[in-house]
Amino acid sequence: MDKLVIQGRRPLRGTLSVSGSKNTALPLMAAALLADGTTILDNVPHLRDIATFSNVLRIVGASVKFNPERHRLRINASRIDFPEAPYELVKKMRASFYMLGALLGRCGEARVSLPGGCAWGPRPVNLHLEGIKALGAEIDLDGGYVVARAPGGRLAGGRYKLDPSSVGATINIAMAAVTARGASRIENAAIEPDVVEFCKALQAMGAQIDGIGTRTLDIEGVDELLPIAYPNCPDRIELGTFMIAAAIAGTPGEPVRLTNANPDHLGAAFIEALERTGTRITIGPDYVEVIAPDEIEPVSITTGIYPGFPTDLQAQWTVLLTQARGTATVTDTVYTDRFNHIPELNRLGVQATAKGETVTVEGGHTLKGAKVMSTDLRASVSLVLAGMVAEGTTDVLRIYHLDRGYERLEKKLSAAGIAIERVQYDEFAQPEPHAA
């Protein structure tokens, strides 16, 4: 297995480039199944989740080729003849559940494994199922699988109100609706940039969608969608992670530049909160410059749906607060128990406790390197950030979680001054007995 070994307290400087968005690439890949022919997606990050989802697409009959140097993915969906997403792949990645909408839209039937548990508590799919049922699908559960069928081979279309608003359910329902016989309306639709970009791609394929970027999506089903060549957008969560890295590990007064970015996708709440810590931010059309403050002000945040503070940045914010001169809180209202990183951060000397949906962080304590373990994607990167500001050596174990969503993280950080390397280790090695 691989781990990251970090020698802390080296300044982050220079330029880091942001990769393509994982959470936008995945629904774009699913949408490619709706068109008979070859869809080409550019700016697709070279990540484990993309490889896993490529395998999901291959199972149903698509041919998928990835060029990692060009970050170009070619999906030929001319022959989709096995409408099933098996447990072995869906359990690895919840986004595989997008196959429900994609296969219903393309084949009029789907057999998709339920995703099951997650690293941080329940993440239900009730809204996906209810929404797709509202479009006219017949749905049964069979041995852990959702079996869905469009009567007559094509969904009728219908109306559904999401409560709460959900990124994944909006995407799944929209994917099933674009090729329905009639009209559909999704109310309280998600307006996260991932959803907006996905809807724009569907539109480019020929889908009839009104209200993109608003809470109500009106979709008129069409007979056919066409394959497209489409550029994926930059990863907003990677950008936010690097902005936090620059605030805590940059040299005060010296800008760290983040390129290939789309700052609009971050949402106002994150940028405002980071500015209130004293961090100076300059926003360009496709770059962001961040200047670390002399002293970080403790700023409490509460996550929310877009344009609120992203839940995918709360673990990283907790690390920022360890460097502040005072106490502040992190409250997650989207996933109320997404705090597996706290006991691991405690091992580095972080003074933080989780109670209910809130973590209280006491800043100003020196962090000391230790061995810590990744538990999920964003938790993993928070451990890397903590290792960057801790004294001594930090080993972040089990980084297969990190590899799901951050492309070449150690290469990007080491090129910007951080002492970090990937090392193979034996997860089951026993410590040597103490010599007499």
Q: Which of residues 218-257 bind ligand EPU (CB under 6 A)?
A: none
Smallest gap, in angstroms, from Cβ of residue 290 to ligand EPU?
22
Smallest gap, in angstroms, from Cβ of residue 401 to ligand EPU?
9
Please identify the residue of the shown chain whose CB is closest to the bound ligand EPU. Answer: 168
Q: Which of residues 363-392 bind ligand EPU (CB under 6 A)?
A: 377-378
Smallest gap, in angstroms, from Cβ of residue 11 to ligand EPU?
27
Q: Which of residues 393-432 bind ligand EPU (CB under 6 A)?
A: 405
Apex CA 192: angle with CA 190 and CA 198, to 5°? 90
Residue closer to ligand EPU (CB basis): 272 or 337:
337
Contact flags string 254-283 toward ligand EPU, x per CB under 6 A: ------------------------------
Smallest gap, in angstroms, from Cβ of residue 126 to ligand EPU?
5
Smallest gap, in angstroms, from Cβ of residue 190 to ligand EPU?
6
Smallest gap, in angstroms, from Cβ of residue 434 to ligand EPU?
41
Q: How does strand 145-149 pair with strand 159-161?
A: unpaired
DSSP label of 307: T
Residue 77 half-sphere exposure toward CB, CA atoms < 13 A = 27
* 310-341 b/e (C-beta count within 10 Å ≥ 16 → b): bbbbbbbbbbbbbbbeeebbbbbebbeebbbb
Nearest to 227 by CA among 209, 208, 201: 201
Cβ atoms < 10 Å from Cβ of 300: 16
What distance in Å separates the CA atoms of residue 278 and residue 197, rounded to the nearest whole number?
32
Cβ atoms < 10 Å from Cβ of 108: 18
Residue closer to ligand EPU (CB basis): 49 or 395:
49
Residue closer to ligand EPU (CB basis): 194 or 407:
194
Segment near ligand EPU (CB under 6 A); pick from 58-66, 99-107, 120-128, 240-248 = 120-128
Q: How does strand 159-161 pair with strand 183-187?
A: parallel
Residue closer to ligand EPU (CB basis): 257 or 404:
404
Smallest gap, in angstroms, from Cβ of residue 121 to ligand EPU?
9
For residue 91, with 0-12 CB atoms within 10 Å meaning exposed, 13-18 middle and 19 or more buried, which class applies?
middle
Contact flags string 289-318 toward ligand EPU, x per CB under 6 A: ----------------------xx------
Just list the catalytic residues: 118
**Identified binder of ligand EPU from the candidate list 124, 152, 153, 253, rule CB under 6 A:** 124
What distance in Å separates the CA atoms of residue 280 and residue 43, rounded to the nearest whole number?
28
Residue type, 271: I
Is position 350 an interface residue for ligand EPU (rule: CB under 6 A)? no
Q: Which of residues 153-212 bind ligand EPU (CB under 6 A)?
A: 164, 166-169, 190, 192, 194
Q: Which residues pair with 186 in a beta bridge?
A: 160, 217
All residues at 6 or more sequence positions from 282 whose CB lies less than 8 Å from its CB, including other chains: 255, 288, 289
Apex CA 296: angle with CA 367 and CA 341, to 5°? 45
Contact flags string 12-51 toward ligand EPU, x per CB under 6 A: -----------x--x-------------------------
Interface with ligand EPU by CB under 6 A: which residues?
23, 26, 94-95, 123-128, 164, 166-169, 190, 192, 194, 311-312, 334-335, 377-378, 405
